Structure 1
């Protein structure tokens, strides 16, 4: 059976007010797992993220390899999980490793050098885009929403619009 993944979300802010309240209520989760090598190796960030989880929701911060290792552990059979990522490449690694992710929500990917904005809160570089397109090609829904009340914006629609303007 394995864990019940209720939400896979890419948001470089990870656990913050919106995630903690709106998404956890909507999805009925009881555990948040941050999957990030960078964060798992940063003790301060790891501690702060664990403190940020809403009451009654357990949180863990693990490396990508650790997530692949524990994903099918029977200990997780009763867990309703939100997976949080800082980038789409880590999602691809889990999908290729056999973790059943059906939909990916993008909540925010901040702008930095070498990235281009595709919405006012999502910026991607070529590697991000390749990873997102890979997920889409696997039949995984890739949608963009900060909070559940927002209208779903599908990545494919944004890319089609962009393509028609080039």
Structure 2
């Protein structure tokens, strides 16, 4: 399997993904990688219902994604991986899936989160996971759209955390 994009976006499949990212990063499949989504049939059905008809879409657990990545059956598959949070990416990398770059797109604000940018708010667990990804050598880029300039997300995160 060839991973053409790994993106954190808790909205998963939506306008930006459908109209911009999928065109720049042509993929046979859009795969939501989340134990929570994979286990929730209603949520999974709703999320996958908006996938484009010309691209296969699925929602799988982290362990299922690891098995699919290493399966010869998917050798010629190109995939866009969408994640809800950075911890799931750490788990997938630790399971042996090589992810070198992560696009940080959107993580919604909630009371237990610290707002880092207009579109990204994080918990303490998220901060630890982003630091772990950085230690693993993963490039973390903040970019809403493919046409936007890429920003170093780990630097943004560290700068914001020092201010508060």
Superposed structure 1 runs of 4+ greater than 6 Å apart? none
Query: How big is each residue's C-alpha offset from its partner over 1:45-103, in whole Å with a ceiling of 9 and x where there is no partner?
Result: 21222221113110011111211222211111111100111111000000111101010
Match in the other structure for 1:31: 29
Q: Report the Cα offset of residue 37 of structure 1.
A: 1.3
Q: Report the Cα offset of residue 161 of structure 1.
A: 2.8
Give the stretch that moved more between structures: 30-39 or 50-59. 50-59
Q: 1:116 to 1:23 in 2, by over 3 A?
A: same
Indicate conservation of the 8 Å contact 2:18/2:51, yes or no. Answer: yes
Q: Which whole-Å CA distance do the structure 1 matches of 2:16 and 2:24 have between them? A: 11
Match in the other structure for 2:3: 5
- Aligned residue pair count: 164
Partner residue of 2:138 out of 137, 140, 156: 140
Q: 1:108 to 1:44 in 2, by over 3 A?
A: same
Instruction: For structure 2, list consecutive stretches of 5 or more residues without a partner in the other structure.
Output: none
3-state SS of paired residue (1:150): coil
3-state SS of paired residue (1:120): coil
Match in the other structure for 1:112: 110
Match in the other structure for 2:71: 73
Indicate conservation of the 8 Å contact 1:9/1:85, yes or no. Answer: yes
3-state SS of paired residue (1:52): coil
Instruction: For structure 1, list consecutive stretches of 5 or more residues without a partner in the other structure.
Output: none
**TM-score of the superposition, structure 2-length normalised?**
0.94
Query: How big is each residue's C-alpha offset from its partner over 1:14-41, in whole Å with a ceiling of 9 and x where there is no partner?
Result: 0111111211110111100101111112
Indicate conservation of the 8 Å contact 2:29/2:80, yes or no. Answer: yes
